[in-house]
Amino acid sequence: MYKGFVNQPDWDALDWTEKDFLTIGQFGSEQILYLLDQALEMKGLTKKGIPHPFLKGKVLGMIFEKASTRTRVSFEVGMKQLGGDAIFLSAKDIQLGRGETIEDTAKVLSRYVDGLMIRTFAHTTIETFAQNASVPVINGLTDLHHPTQVMADLLTIYEHKGRLSGLKMCYIGDGNNNMCHSLLEGAAAVGMDLTVASPQGYEPNLQIIEQAKKTGQNNGCQILFTHSPEEAMEKADVVVTDVWTSMGQEEEADERKKAFHAFQVNRELCAFAQPDFIFLHCLPAHRGEEVTSEIIDGPHSVVFDEAENRLHAQKAILKVLMQ
The residues of the shown chain that bind ligand NVA, judged by CB under 6 A, are 146, 177-179, 242-243, 246-247, 282
Q: Are 29 and 189 in contact (CB under 8 A)?
A: yes
Q: Are 163 and 187 in contact (CB under 8 A)?
A: no
Residue nearest to ligand NVA (CB): 246
314 catalytic? Reply is no
Q: 221, 242, 264, 312: which is the annotated catalytic residue?
A: 242
Q: Which is nearer to ligand CP, 69 or 217 (CB)?
A: 69
Q: 70, 119, 145, 256: which is the annotated catalytic residue?
A: 119
Q: Which is nearer to ligand CP, 135 or 282 (CB)?
A: 282
Give the shortest CB-149-to-ligand CP separation in angstroms: 5
98 catalytic? Reply is no
Q: Are 266 and 291 in contact (CB under 8 A)?
A: yes
282 catalytic? Reply is yes
By a kind-dependent CB cut-off of 5 to 8 A, residue 292 interacts, out of ligand NVA, ligand CP, none, with none
Give the shortest CB-29-to-ligand NVA separation in angstroms: 25
CA 233 vs CA 43, 131, 143, 178, 179: distances in Å:
31, 40, 25, 20, 18
By a kind-dependent CB cut-off of 5 to 8 A, residue 69 interacts, out of ligand NVA, ligand CP, none, with ligand CP
Which is it for strands 168-172 and 59-64: parallel, antiparallel or unpaired? unpaired
Q: Which is nearer to ligand NVA, 178 or 198 (CB)?
A: 178
Kindly list the residues in this chain that would bind ligand CP in the complex (CB under 6 A): 68-71, 141, 149, 282-283
By a kind-dependent CB cut-off of 5 to 8 A, residue 178 interacts, out of ligand NVA, ligand CP, none, with ligand NVA
242 catalytic? Reply is yes
C-alpha–C-alpha distance, residues 244 and 264, integer Å: 10
Calculate the dihedral angle through the C-alpha atoms of 129, 130, 132, 135, rounding to the nearest 10 degrees: 120
Q: Which is nearer to ligand CP, 71 or 245 (CB)?
A: 71
Give the shortest CB-253-to-ligand NVA separation in angstroms: 12
Give the shortest CB-232-to-ligand NVA separation in angstroms: 18
Q: Are 155 and 307 in contact (CB under 8 A)?
A: no
310 catalytic? Reply is yes
Q: Which is nearer to ligand NVA, 178 or 264 (CB)?
A: 178
Q: Are 25 and 307 in contact (CB under 8 A)?
A: no
- Which residue pairs, CB below 8 angstroms and at least 24 apart, start in 94-101? 94/63, 96/63
Residue spans of alpha helices (H) in the chain: 29-48, 70-81, 102-110, 123-132, 147-161, 178-190, 206-218, 229-233, 253-259, 267-270, 293-296, 303-322
Which residues are known to be catalytic? 119, 146, 149, 242, 282, 310
